[in-house]
Amino acid sequence: MQRPLLDEQGLLSIDAGQAALLDLLQPAAPLLPPDAEHRRRVLRAVVLAAEADGQEVDERLMQLLSDCLLAQPPTDGDAANSGGCSTDSSLAQALLPPPPQPGWCYKLWSYGPVGEAPAASLAAVASLERAVAAQRQAWLAKHKHDLQQGQRQQLGALPACPPAATGDGSHGLLALHVSLNLLEGGTGCHEWEAGFFLAEWVLNNAALIAGRACLEIGCGAGMVGVALHRAGAAHVLCTDGDSQTVVNCRFNLQLNGVPLANSTCSCGDSTCGRTGHGGSSSSSSSSEGMGRHPRHATAECRQLCWEDGWPGTLGADEELQQVPTVVLGADLLYDPTVIPTLLSLLKQVLTAAAAAATAAAAGSCSGEQQGQQQGQDRRQQEDAQQAQQQQQQPAAYLATTLRNEATLHQFLAAVEADPSICMQQLAGPPVPDASGGSSSAAMLGSQEKGDEPPAGKAHAAADVAALSAAGGPDGNGTIRWQHVPELDAARERIFLHRISLAARHTC
């Protein structure tokens, strides 16, 4: 018999609530299984609360609590041996991400348009769930093939997992495997407010991301990398200096259905020969709502130590031999001693990108006159090309949560002292200077540096205007994370800076 969902007050009924808890807390029920300790804590709290209110506890919940209290945690050997099993039960279990190890957990967030009608949001979520189901079926087909071929997981890597969340540039669910220890992986295996802010900014400025090669420095758990893929980036390279963080980021990209450049195509076709398909599946049902993705968009995770400098290309795969024109980073100013190294790395990437863009522009100009129609307004064409070049100018975008004012001042001073780069503040409050006044002029990079001509800042200012028109450089765009109180509380303390080469250094 079906339970009534709502009581006479319009609230979730006790029976329906207990049934929902039972579904969520089953070890193999949800897409993102909770760890055993979390299940024990929640079940114990539910039982104690029900007894205190004089309510009868569902027998199945009591049995689940008993099983949790008596259960022995799986050993590493059990996990390793399960990879070679080809039984139907193991294939069914393969549809679930691996249970988190002690000290780790899965977290799931959602984003969507601000002020959207509930019915439209529910319809979007239903579409996302259908897309996830299609992706998981394609993943299972590939998993069955791998088991039949006797392929095993590489030693030391997190298990390959099916997608558990999906989305596009306007609606989405985003899942991350994160550590409860804030310092795990050098702080890179935990979610941070600046990462939420930067990912949200990416989704609100898809016009600057779509079709471009993007590099993230200090990728952490991979939230921004997922957002870049969903905003339509052609190639995404997530880098971090910590090897454990890189492994976890790669796992999280898989968890969100992002095709990896160094893995078998996610369409499940072993004869495909491609490194990945945009939208994570070749089936039409799984690509619903994923139209921004380039057909062969891929992502890659690599370790990058800033002091080693920029290696010169986006990835090892031949299809990824591109210089990134968009560089992003969140909470990189954690230590004032890294500021010179960070700025040096940014300049190396931006210089390489500017050189590549100049060469491409020279090649396109050689045949420019051949395809022009007679009577076409050349002035309008030139204006349109100039506007496009301004929007596509190589630039770095850094999101920073203000924690140490002195470190931020040191970073701003270092940028101000370097005549080869210019910087604009896209979000965040003015920072008071040492005398207690506002240093917003220096922070915005609006003061001229040495003999830098005023024209050197003109196209950068135009980019800022274009960002404003794109909706949301101040972090108040139309796409927002939903129910993330930590981010909402920190918004007024988060800065977003745009760094680009000064005009005379881009030629």
Amino acid of residue 419: P
Provide the pLDDT confidence category of residue 468 given band limits of 50, 70 and 90: very low
| Residues 496, 397: Cα–Cα separation, whole Å | 7
Mean pLDDT, to the nearest integer, of 32-59?
78
Provide the pLDDT confidence category of residue 390 given band limits of 50, 70 and 90: low
| Residues 57, 255: Cα–Cα separation, whole Å | 35
Most confidently modeled of 93-102, 231-240, 446-455?
231-240
Could you tell me if 470 and 207 are in contact, meaning their C-beta atoms sit under 8 angstroms apart?
yes
Provide the pLDDT confidence category of residue 176 given band limits of 50, 70 and 90: very high
Q: Where are the alpha helices (H) located in 152-270, listed in sequence order?
A: 193-204, 206-209, 223-230, 243-255
How does DSSP classify residue 484? -
pLDDT per position as a tens digit, 60-105: 778 877 877 776 544 444 433 333 334 444 555 555 677 788 889 8
Could you tell me if 187 and 487 are in contact, meaning their C-beta atoms sit under 8 angstroms apart?
no
Residue 444 has pLDDT above 90, yes or no: no
For residue 239, CA distances in Å to 149, 200, 222 come to 32, 19, 9
Residue 276 has pLDDT above 90, yes or no: no
Mean pLDDT, to the nearest integer, of 167-171?
90
Laid out side by side, the sheet with 104-113 consists of 172-179, 104-113, 479-482
- Across 94-98, 244-248, 275-279, 466-470, least confident range: 275-279
Provide the pLDDT confidence category of residue 314 given band limits of 50, 70 and 90: low
In this structure, the number of other CB atoms found within 10 A of the CB of residue 462 comes to 16
In this structure, the number of other CB atoms found within 10 A of the CB of residue 160 comes to 22
- Domain ranges (residues) in the chain: 14-70, 106-359+389-507
Could you tell me if 317 and 261 are in contact, meaning their C-beta atoms sit under 8 angstroms apart?
yes
For residue 331, CA distances in Å to 342, 398, 465, 499 come to 12, 8, 25, 15
- What pTM did the predictor assign? 0.75
Top-tier CATH class for 106-359+389-507: alpha beta
